Amino acid sequence: MTSTLSHATVRPAARARSLGATAALVVLLTLIIASCGNDETASQNPAKPTAAFAWPTGPHPRAVFHIRDHGTLLLELYPELAPLTVASFIELARTGFFDGTTFHRVVPGFMIQGGDPNTRDNDPNNDGDGGPGFNLPDEPSDAPHTRGTVAMANTGRPNTGGSQFFIVQGDARHLDGRHTVFGRVAAGIEVADAIASVETDLHGRWGKPNRPLEDVVIDRIEILDPQAPRAPAARPAPTLPGPESKLGPERPRFFPALAQR
């Protein structure tokens, strides 16, 4: 009796274990098939890379920064991206607003910032607080904050740009969409690199943090108007040398450093 009861109890348990194993196998096969389907879908629809931003083509107004003891920095300005900001910057530069101001905030690998009239006085504590007396509306665009980009600084709130700007020294894509981009370095990026490497008051012991220990002064900003492309001049008919002339090396040509590209 005991033996019969024992066999009757074991056989259903064995069958239950067998059914459980079969069910587990079916689930496993289902997961494998589903996984293969997902992999195939992913391979058929790979993630598309973000398209590169197309900067506007010229001719454009340009700004030449004459920076004391560092040289010149040439910026190309883009009215197509920020017409109000570009017009304001040009007007301020032409009236001498930036003359004698400094790059008051320098963060290596990130950016250099200037354009504050407060930097002309002898109080380092108010550097970064000044402006032209008005605020500019934000002019958002898809322009990226990559190396050489020029954008307006703000207070962290909308529509608070004025005269302060920054030049991106290292890519800062986390700023995309947060500042008005209005230009880009066209020549002299090595000057921005040199400014970014100056020694700074990192922790703000004598003023605001990241202020250069020695002033990096913008003597003036010269604005160059855009120039329409010139038609090539007609070449004169070649003439043969006379009996008293002698062919020699062509006179060296002069190419101004900031000639229209």
Catalytic positions are 105, 110, 113, 154, 166, 175, 179
User: Which two structure tokens, joined as six digits, stand for 180?
Assistant: 């008005």
Q: Which amino acid is at 63?
A: A
How far apart CA 120 and CA 171 sit, in angstroms, is 29
How many beta carbons lie within 10 A of that of residue 12, not counting itself?
Answer: 9
Phi and psi at residue 12, to the nearest 5°:
-60, -35
How far apart CA 183 and CA 197 sit, in angstroms, is 22
**Cα 81 off chain centre by:** 14
Q: Is the peptide bond before 117 cis (omega within 30 degrees of 0)?
A: no
Cα 6–Cα 10–Cα 12 angle in degrees, nearest 5:
130
Phi and psi at residue 61, to the nearest 5°:
-65, 150
Element (H, E) at 64: strand 62-67
